[in-house]
């Protein structure tokens, strides 16, 4: 008799546990996966802009988002703007973006939208950006966590192009692509321009820096000297550049178009031999000596 009662209690307990467990099941098909926001006004992305169509525009740019007065489906619309080490004034890209439930869209004025990031994606998902262009499809191969200098764990999504199998791309939660920033043509080498991420800042603090670059080119407006305090000539130049400065020069740094430091001169004269440099566009950073820290950023063309 006691055995029968015990068995009955076990069965009742088991059924109650099953009912409780069913109450705890979450339908992930309808739930929203929470992710850190990508589009905010306190972030800056330093990228190397590269265009095969207009190479004269190639170089370092600093991108940020500015919130507009418009909304789409209840979400704010942001304008993408940028400046350069040569021009501190913000330039409107004429591109607009919005974010909803972990997905980031490029929004066109005619209402058409392209999915740029999906931070809710799961392993084996196919990311379709253009239904009629499978060349742009991405396959999620792995999801893990990465930590940068701010020590925040960030979801990292590994992707392959559906029609390729040799290149791995990464989307980082809250930061975007680690190699291509806001680039819908990630799987197509024939499309341009490409925006290669070099540095990422949040609340003015550097979170990420590409190992390829030595300078993130985040400058205050007062650092961009467009006056006559420092003059570099001739420009374009073939053999030598001359630097005129009202104060003694402490240091001169020369960077190529992707931000790599290629020349450094300490306590230098005001004549710099550039004859060994390949033809192209270079950024020259000049720091003056004295009690006040002053520097100038200039672009030169080597012919």
pLDDT number for residue 219: 47
Q: Residue 82 falls within a domain, yes or no?
A: yes
Same domain, 106 and 68: yes
Same domain, 195 and 252: no
pLDDT number for residue 303: 82
* Boundaries of domain holding 163: 43-209
**What is the separation, in whole angstroms, between the first and last Cα of the chain?**
102
Alpha-carbon distance of 61 to 202, in angstroms, equals: 16
| Count of other CB atoms within 10 angstroms of residue 119 | 23
pLDDT number for residue 155: 95
Candidates 108, 146, 102; CA nearest to 127 is 102
Number of domains in the chain: 2
Pull the structure tokens for residue 153.
Answer: 């764990």
pLDDT number for residue 235: 86
pLDDT number for residue 228: 58
Pull the structure tokens for residue 169.
Answer: 């791309």
Report the CATH number at residue 234.
Answer: 2.60.40.3080
pLDDT number for residue 18: 37
The pLDDT averaged over each successive group of 10 residues in the chain (303 residues) is 52 41 33 74 88 71 92 94 76 89 91 91 90 83 93 92 74 86 64 77 90 65 52 88 81 79 78 88 78 65 83
Instruction: For residue 53, give Cα distances in angstroms to 99, 194, 217, 278.
Output: 30, 11, 24, 21
Place of tokens 């929203």: 32
Pull the structure tokens for residue 83.
Answer: 């400046």
Same domain, 132 and 164: yes
Same domain, 230 and 204: no
């Amino acid at each position: 008799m006691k055995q029968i009662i015990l068995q009955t209690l076990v069965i009742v307990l088991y059924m109650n546990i099953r009912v409780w467990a069913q109450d705890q099941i979450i339908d992930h098909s309808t739930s929203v996966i929470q992710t850190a926001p990508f589009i905010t006004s306190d972030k800056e992305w330093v990228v190397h802009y590269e265009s095969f169509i207009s190479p004269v525009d190639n170089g370092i740019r600093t991108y940020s988002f500015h919130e507009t007065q418009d909304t789409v489906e209840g979400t704010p619309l942001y304008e993408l703007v940028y400046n350069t080490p040569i021009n501190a004034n913000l330039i409107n890209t004429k591109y607009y973006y919005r974010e909803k439930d972990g997905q980031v869209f490029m929004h066109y004025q005619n209402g058409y939208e392209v999915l740029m990031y999906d931070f809710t994606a799961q392993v084996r998902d196919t990311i379709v950006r253009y239904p009629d262009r499978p060349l742009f499809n991405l396959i999620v191969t792995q999801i893990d966590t990465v930590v940068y200098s701010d020590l925040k764990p960030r979801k990292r999504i590994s992707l392959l192009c559906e029609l390729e199998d040799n290149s791995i791309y990464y989307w980082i939660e809250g930061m975007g692509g680690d190699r291509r920033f806001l680039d819908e043509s990630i799987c197509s080498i024939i499309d341009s321009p490409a925006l290669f991420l070099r540095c990422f800042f949040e609340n003015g603090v550097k979170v990420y820096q590409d190992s390829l670059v030595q300078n993130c080119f985040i400058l205050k407006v007062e650092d961009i000297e467009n006056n006559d305090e420092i003059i570099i000539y001739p420009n374009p130049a073939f053999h030598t550049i001359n630097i005129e400065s009202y104060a003694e020069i402490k240091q001169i740094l020369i960077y190529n178009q992707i931000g790599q430091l290629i020349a450094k001169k300490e306590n230098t004269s005001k004549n710099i031999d550039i004859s060994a440099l390949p033809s192209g566009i270079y950024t020259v950073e000049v720091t003056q000596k004295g009690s006040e820290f002053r520097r100038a950023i200039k672009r030169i063309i080597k012919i």
